[in-house]
Structures are given as structure tokens and as C-alpha cells.
Structure 1
């Protein structure tokens, strides 16, 4: 197939370095203050001391700014790339664009929470000095702590502080009193966090965007948002913080019960052992069958040899007998010629002539070669072709098991005018391209989208979202939000049934496929529950067919499953050998009912008949296809494929 259009559906966000909101000077060479028996939460993993200007990585691990800088510099010198591994979890972290050598760590976000914790712990230690006096290089013991400024104050500075115009209303506690109050209580008191953009206190929360705000943030960036509430209300009523914490605890417990981080190592060792056993089994099976037939052939050879020897004896024996008779007759005639009379010679002559004639027929033409018998082994045609074509038993591949790592787009659909609409989960947006590959419009979302499908004849689309939500967009001219529908589950794949006007969705977390109304309510559920046997392991993409069947790609089972609208399995496609699937992703059906499967791990697209029988591979590496994720066939017979790197490729299809 010829490649028609290429489009890059990803974009990189520009991340500006965060400003430092900690009271430590960035140019200060002072060492972090050591503290005996300090809380491990305030201890840097690298230097094993109390944090000094803590910086947080995307993996949520924090380190001293100077420690992190040293680690990044060493890592960059070793790998020569623009990334480094977290010292604790080894997750790859990219260096921010524009960060200069010696300033890499400063580009990461300041951990104001840990900075405040460290300062409070420091204030509660014996011999704490006044922070204000220290800035002018004087050493005076601190007697009080300002909860608003997070500064330790001596008696003199306290008087000035409480009478200043901007600090008169600050809450100050004596350090002795602080030491009697639990650290948890102190951390929660006067817990005012400034906005990193406007340096005003964060007091609001945008429910639509799920972001904490200051007053200026609301006025500038969130003026069109409808659901802005106070921080206290957000924690009690309008957010799913408790749900997230519950999921984290459940997932951590599941991982630990399954063997923790040691499980992947055991999985690898098990897979190596299984591969070794399979290789040995196949080779031994082949060798055993060959040796078995070798024994049969040798026994047959023994009996056939006896038969052949008998045949040869039967053919040679007359010649031997005739030759002996001729020799005897010849000896007789030579003796008579030497010693016999003429009469005796003539008497023997007639008898010898008759004997010669009879022996001549038995011996045959003396110029011909002696009679022979051969025993040949004729190779079977199948074995002969096997030997000629045999060059290997199979191939070994490393399955990293991270089928979805790096996937930046989960879904693609197309309108009646062949416009292409892609969900870009990495950048949290929906992008619309013309059929020629030009970016026409995009919608920035507050959270990560998953899959997308068109709904009806008006080219409206429905999109599954992180956070148990399905949103609907109009796409005719400019893309606009129509409505939101809350759902009972977190859904991933989505498809629209034209005949029944409902949505079919899949849930990786719950291992189910649901049929839902357009308002998000569940009509039927397949795959789990008391009355259902487990059908799915990781149901990912969905496609509704014209005959009301449902096609599901199951990544966990490396299979394609087709069920009817009542949940009965119509067919299960899970081939072995060269047609085997490896982490199948997108599925779609053309106007004739043919089924196309994005074979993600094998870098190809498979074509199946409507009954699930393999037809052929229609695209592969030779077509510059790499890690196909989402797939769609348009009404004008164009095959649209989104790769894991976000590249959209369009192929002609007939």
C-alpha cells in the first residue's frame, strides 16, 4: 500500500524553571544542618542529611538541590543523553530545555512542603539561632517562630516583627511552646502556600481543571471555568482525593502481595526457563521422531537386504552353474585332443556342442555386464523440502512487557468529510486534521483523554476521559464541548453502535466491557460478576460491527474476542506461530465486515474475515509502520493509523 499522508500529532510542552520559594539562598555554601534521630521524611537519600533546598522529581522523590545537581552532571557524562535516572527508583527524568550546565537541578520544582517541614524541625532543635540576625551575620538565640514567615526570631526581632505594617498580624509562637506541640499540628496550622506564578496565597480550587488557584489565576487563566470552589470545600466534597489514596494503597498492597519489585525478575527467569524448555522439547520431539523412523527404516532395510540378496543370487547362480559346465566340457575336449583317438573326439563332440548351446543361453551375452541388484533409499518429498528450506527452528525475542509505555495517542476517528480527529493523551488535547494532513483545530482538556468515536451522522464525537468521565464534542466547523457524562467506572476504549444509538466501552481496571447510555448509565456489563465467567484480562480497544457484534482487543491475552450484544462469545482469535498477536491494540471494521487489527508488538496490521479467520498481513515494517496503536478505515477507503510515537499515517485501501 502506498503511504499518503504523515502528520505529527504530538507537541512538546515548554516547561519554565520554577522560582525558588525557599528561604535558603541559592548561592549559599552552608552545609545542611545535621540532626540526630531526625524524621526520615526530612532526610535526603543521597547525602543522608536534612534537606537543603529540596527539589522534587516527576516520580515524587525529593533530593537536595546540590545533591541532585551532582547526580545529574555525573549521569549526563556517563550516558551522553539529555536524561538521568532517579537515584531512588531509577525512573528516567528528562532535562528541561534551556537548562544550563550547573543549573540542571534548579529547573525542577521546589518542594515547599519539605522545605517547611525541615525549617520547623530545625526551629524545634536546641540552640536555634534567629534567622533575621543570621542574615546580617549576627548570632542571637531564637525565642519565637513566625508561622506566617517561617522564620525564627530573637526577642529584639520579635518586637520589630509584631509592630511592622505588613507583619503585625502574623502569628508567632515561642519555641518552647512549639516543642510541646506535635509536628503534625504545627504543619497544618497556618498552612499557607503561595502561588508559584503570582506569589499570592492559594485559596481556590478549579474542579474543571483540577488545579489549585490563587485569585489572579482564577481571573486570568480560569475565568471561563464554571466550578471554582474554596480549598477546604474541595477536600471535603468535590474531589476524589480519598479515591486516589484508596487506589494507591490497594495497588501498593497488590504489588507487595504479588512479590513486589522482585516479581519482574522471577517473571524473566521463568520466561527464560520456559523458552529453554520449549527449545529442548521441540528439538527433542523432532529428534525422537527422526530416530523412531530411523529404527523403522533400518529394520526395513534389513529385510529388504535379504530379499535383494536372494534376487541377486537367483540371477547369478545360472551363470555360475553354466560357467562350471563349460569349463568341464572344455577340459574334456582338451584332454581328448591330447590323448584321445579321432573316434573318441567325435563321440564327445556332439555331446559337448549340445552342452555349450544350453550353457550359452544361461550365461547370456558375454559382452554384457554381470547382472546386478541395487537397494535405494528414496527420500520423501516433504522431508526433502524440509531439509532444503530448514535454516532455523525459530527466533528469540525480548518482550519488555511494557506494551503501553510511550503511547501518546489512544484513539483516532474520522468524520464524514474525512477529517481526522486524534486523542493526544500526552498533551491532554483533541486534535483535528484535514484529510490533507493540516492541523485544523484542537481542544485543550483539563485531563487525559483515552479513546474516541464518532456518534451518529452529525460528526459529533465521544471521548473517554481519566476520572470516570465521557465528554462529547461537536466537530463540524470548530470543535466545541457539547456535554459531559459521569460514568460509574473508569473507561478506556469506546465505540458507538449506529443501530442501537448507545456506547460500548471497555475498562482495563475492572476487566469488563459495558454498554452504556449516552448519559453514562450502564445498560449491560460483560466480563465479571457473579453470573459471568471472566472473559477479559486487559480489554483495550472496542469496535461495534454492523451486525451488532462487538470486537475487543485483549492485550493481556494477546487475543481478539468477538461477542454478541448479549455477551456470548462469537469467536476468539488467538493464533500461534508466525500469525501470533503481540499486545494487539486498535481494531476496526470496514464496510464489507472485514476486521483490521493493529498488531502493536509485531509492527503490522492483520486482516481477518468477519468470522475471525486470518486472511493476510496488509501492512508491516516494509510500509514504515512502527508500533501501531489506533486504527480506523474511513468511508472513502483510507486507512488511518496512529503510532505509539504520536505519528498519524494514512494509507490508501482497496
Structure 2
């Protein structure tokens, strides 16, 4: 299927052409934004847009202007949505009248009955062609016998007489009702039902027939046309600026890429691997930045194109439509103008000029054996309001720094150049799983709800604590920590907190760490003998922490794009880049021995020493969304996969792996797991479609 792209915008816009198939409109349907499409094209577009997009149920975006369009009756079958949108009588009639240029014309009334008759006459009121028989019938019906009927030859010789005498517009809210009134207070076009239900008390409601006679209407039409031209001009200027920015970025990209190549050639044997990684990361960054600006430019192109099409449409309505139609159309377009003005304003306020700067590591230039990274790539942004014309100046520039270093290598923040700690031994990867002889025996499901809960309980993390089998869970939805006891299958205590808790780590039997991603902090709590949870410390992080663990007096926390090892006071010691994730959770867990920890890196499970060195990694073809990780008393690793519903066990040395709970046996999708001190008893959370979440206790047996 073709579509009207940004490259086509400079062509003459024909309001009788479908923007999707680029052919003459066939059975046109009009959206709220006044853009017309073939019935078939519109239905195919709606069907391909998915059941529930980001704009909500019962909505889809217009292919031309990108404005969300609401379906009048979304409960009806999706493959019938296009039929709910009205036809535009003006566009339909203009499409029909376009065929008047040919020598033969089909009778419109006969065509509706599936017949084919040659037309010889034209009705100015109905705006359609008809044959001899239909003309006679036309004259016999009292309600339409006064219609002005002309011979087609006369119409072809004088096209100006095609202008429609009258044109009624249907109300989009109430079927079989026509727009007749206008509320000045709300600037709302109304039918009589709209007036009776929503605007009866409004002080200034008039009929459209009254308003079109008002001299102010003509002035308002001129105002709207000027506003549309202003939007188009602003869009053109901002599009030009985006194009210039992309040109500069491409030039600097090529320049820096060449410089990177020239530097690496001086020590090709030593720098070859680092050079390839630097170029790769540079290309990824460049692609990301150009796609972002190209997307912004596409939005501006859409606004310009939409205004251009709307302007053509308004000109056609002005030329061929009735004053009533002109007024209605201009009022509808007024809303579109405001929407596109807002797009331009937001884009202008947020616009940034983008430049590149690559700072080479001094060690690279000296060809030192201490070389650990090729350099740092900076994306320099400069907003329109603070443009820096001197190329040597960097004042006012905002920079985003990307460390270009070997994959998975931890970065020690104490070193300014982000040097890399290299593992003492080459890590290995485990990819196979054996059949399991371990069995998980279910004890019972827990009811995690409390009487004071306002939402369904949703546990995102937890830990066993004390010596009597008690455990604490983080209820993300209800902003609570809930305490459970063995053989009591509901919370025995709740501790309300001020924000949504995410994960819990055990410091010692009566002390825990809790991560709060919305507050960008990690709190430390102590369980007192009187069952009161007392906050003893707070660590503030620069970005939202998710998973948290406590290892040998160090705090290990997971973030969307890295793992950070901090001392007990929150000072960063090691930063380990990971694949950026928008997953449900980014789990992390510490070993019982206190010398290793496990985390997620994309769809791979990585085991590291406390220094950040990678020991080994685990991957499996079915492992797509590892959402929960735990370790038993022998430091065997257990991984919940929310996608496949499997639970994997990995030996502590990374030599063996197996599935201990198959998706065929799962009630729901496992998302969290935690062991007690014996390593034989564990809690498991599972997502149940339409029913929320299950919290279940299991016992392992061989």
C-alpha cells in the first residue's frame, strides 16, 4: 500500500486523492480532523494498527496529521470501524463531478441500484448526474421537484455553476442529526440533541444560518487561513533547521570516524579490537541521535502536510461549499491549527543542536600498555535559545557521555577516564540445561491482601528474615512492606512506607535494605523487638534503583543500564554497564558466602565477584525475560523466566544447568523467588492473567 510521504509534500495536493493509496478517493470516509480516505484503505489501516495502541482503546492515529482519532462506537467489530465515519458530501460530489470532464457519465441514482445508465442531466441541489428516467422521477417528487436541473453539456461548458447550493453536515455524536447550532462559549458545533443535553444553559447559542450572515464570519475565515499559513511557514523553518543539524552531524560523524581510524593505525595490533568497538558504539550513538531528530522532523512534516491539506480543503469548501459549510469547516480546522501550533511550540522549546566530540584517552595517544578504553564520545546539544556560534566554545553545552570500552567490563568511578577492570580469568558461558530430578512441593498459597489495601497486592521483591521462618515482601501497589509467618498464610504485620517499594535485601536477621525507584533512594530499616520497623539510614542515588543486595558490607544495586557496587554509606566503588532494559524488574542477588553476586544483563544471567569481575554467564534459548533470581545455601542459582514460565537451576560453579519447573506445570508466570536460610524452602510470586498475583510457598525435594 502506498502512502503520502514527506517527499511528496511539495507536490500539488489534490483533496480528491486518497493519502494512503494515492488514487482518486473511492467511497471516501472523513475523520474528525477532516482528512478523507478510501473506505477500504481506511479499514485496512485501522486493522493493521493493532487492537490497543498507545493512544488508548477505541482510538487510532490519523495517517496524515498523527492526531488520535476516536471511533464513535468502539465496542463494534474492529473490521467495521471505517463504516462509522461519515462521508463528506462535498468531497464525494467533487469526486463525482470530476468525471464530468469525460464524454460519458453514469447516472448516480441508477448506480446506487446496481444499474448502468448514461447520464444526460445534472442536479445542482443533489450535486449528481442523472439519466432521462431519473430526471422525470426527480420532477414528480414534491420535496425535490424545485431542484435546479441542467443539461450536462451546459455544466461542462460552465464549471462555475457546479457550486453547491446547500450542504448539510452530520453530527459526529448523534446519528441522523445535522449540525445546526453553534455555542460561542465552548466554540462547539451542535445538533439539536447536543444543545438539549450539553448546552441548554449556555448564554450564547445561535443557529449557523444566523452566524453565516454575520460580517465577523468572513474575518474569522481570513484569520484561520493566515494562522494555517503561519504554521506552515514555521514548520518549514524548523524542518530546514533539522536538515542543517543532520548535515552537520553527518559531517562531524565522518570527520571523527576518520580521526579514530588514523589514531588506531599507529598501534593497529594493540588497538584493533578497541577501535572496532569504538566505531560500533559511535555508529549506534549516531543512529540513535539521527533517528531521534528524524522522528522530530517527521512530526513537523506531518504538521506542515496536514495544514497544507486542510488549507486546500478549506479553499475547496470556500469555493464550492455553502456559507454554512464554510463556517462549520473553519471552526473544525481552528482546533487543528491549535494542535499543530502546540506541536511547533513544544518542538521549538525543546530543540537542541547536536554536535559530536570525541575525547581520546591520553593513554591511547601515548600508546601506553595501560590502555583500557579508546575514549569518550560526547553528544553536544544546544537549544535554539542558547545557540553558540563560536565552534571553539562549549559554554552552555549539555553533554551526554558514552563510555566506549569492552562489553561487560566494569568501570571504576575513581578513575577519571573510566578505566576497565579486567577479569583475572576468562569467563565461560553455559548454554545447555539437563533434565531435572529436583521437585518443588507446594505448601500453600498466601493471601497477601490487608483490609487497608486500596489496590490489589503486587509483590516485586522480598526476603526471609529472623530465625523463625518469617519473611517480608514489598507490596509495590499499596506502598507497604508486609510481614509473613510460617503456617500463617496471610500478613501478620504491615509497615506503610511513603513511596512504592521495589526490592528488599537482608543485611542481618533484623535489618533490611529497601529500594524506592520513584524516590531514587535506598532505605535501611531495623526490626525492633516491639515489631516496629525503624528507618536507620537513607542512601540517595542519581537514578532509580530497582534490585538491591548486600554483600560483605557493600551494597549492590541494579539500574536500567548498569550495576553499581557501593560501600555501606552509598559511595560508588564500581560501575558495571549492562544492556539497557525496560523490563518488569532487574533482579540482583548476593551469595550466602558473600563473595559473589548474580544479576541480569538483557536475557543473560551473569555471575561476578565482589570486585566486579565476570566469572561466568548463563543463557538458554527459552530464557527471554529473567524476572527473578535467588540462591540457595550452596550458592546454586535459581532463575524465574516470566516469558517461558520456566524456573532454571544453575550450579554454583556454572558447569551445569537444568529446568526444575516446566511451563507445563506453571499456574502463572513466575516473576519473583526467594530462599530461606536452609535453602530448602522458598517463596514464589506468579502473575495470573486477569487475577493479579499469587504468592506461594514451596519446599524443594530430590
Return the TM-score normalized by structure 1. 0.38
Higher Rg of the two aligned structures:
1
Comparing both chains, which one has the higher relative contact order based on Cα–Cα distances under 8 Å and sequence gaps of 6 or more? 1
Return the TM-score normalized by structure 2. 0.36
